[in-house]
Structure 1
Amino acid sequence: TPPAKPYVIIKETPTGWLRVRTEPSSTATEAAKVNPGETFPYLNEEKSGWLKIEYETDKAGWVSGVYVDLVK
């Protein structure tokens, strides 16, 4: 069952997984890795092409908008 809207779906990536970052930057610390096809709540915040998601209960991080589909 997908989460309540809005949420993101992780798309296919060259590596087969996607890094979740602590800040909206490709040089920020990696907080977690998520996999294509997984869905996560979208926290209604976007900066420079990065979207903020809840990747674990009460844990938020940023993913590149290139590799996610936003479902509103």
Structure 2
Amino acid sequence: MEPKRVKGQDVLEYWRSRTDLPGLQRIARGIMAIPGSSVESERIFSASKEVIGDKRSGLGPVMIRD
């Protein structure tokens, strides 16, 4: 028997209750952990300009990758 989806129900709580579908439950919870915006990746990209910029042009590819 499928748990009834109630309007306003927490999506994470819904997937916690779906113990009958452990594989799908794991996938759904993993997908919901992905941030809905790119703010964090943009922040990291902007910070990388300070590491790989004109002031530090002496860094080689290995050091930059590390």
TM-score, normalised via structure 2 length: 0.21
More strand by share: 1
More helix by share: 2
Larger Cα-atom Rg: 2
